[in-house]
């Protein structure tokens, strides 16, 4: 039975870009957060990205190091789908009841 995976949020995609730029399995957590802030992500976006990785089992934090799994490195190198907002449904145009 396959489970449907939710797409990555934008902050997680930026985090994958940071991981791809570093190119190593172990990154100092402070350096990771600094690179995320340099790309315009706030602290909440950094924690959202780490939560998205944790749901997938893509990282572990030991001490001050962020250790990413092979799956995260593959996703960083190959790219993944981004979370896109659903388009808004247009307003319903109703006919006036006395036209027919």
Residue 76 and residue 17 in contact, taking contact as beta carbons nearer than 8 Å:
yes
Mean pLDDT of 40-54: 92
Question: Mean of the per-residue pLDDT values for the chain?
Answer: 82
Q: Which residue has the higher pLDDT, 33 or 84?
A: 33
Q: How confident is the model at residue 88 (pLDDT cuts 50, 70, 90)?
A: low
Return the minimum-mean-pLDDT range out of 8-22, 54-68, 70-84: 70-84
Could you tell me the domains of the chain?
10-78 (1.10.10.10)
**Would the pTM of this model clear 0.85, i.e. be above it?**
no
């Amino acid at each position: 039975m396959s489970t449907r995976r939710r797409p990555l949020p934008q902050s997680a995609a930026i985090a994958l870009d940071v991981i791809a730029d570093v190119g190593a399995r172990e990154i100092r957590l402070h350096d990771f957060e600094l690179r995320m802030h340099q790309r315009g992500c706030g602290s909440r976006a950094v924690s959202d990205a780490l939560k998205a990785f944790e749901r997938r089992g893509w990282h572990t934090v030991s001490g001050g190091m962020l250790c990413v799994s092979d799956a995260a490195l593959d996703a960083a190198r190959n790219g993944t789908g981004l979370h896109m907002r659903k388009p808004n449904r247009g307003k319903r145009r109703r006919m006036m009841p006395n036209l027919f």
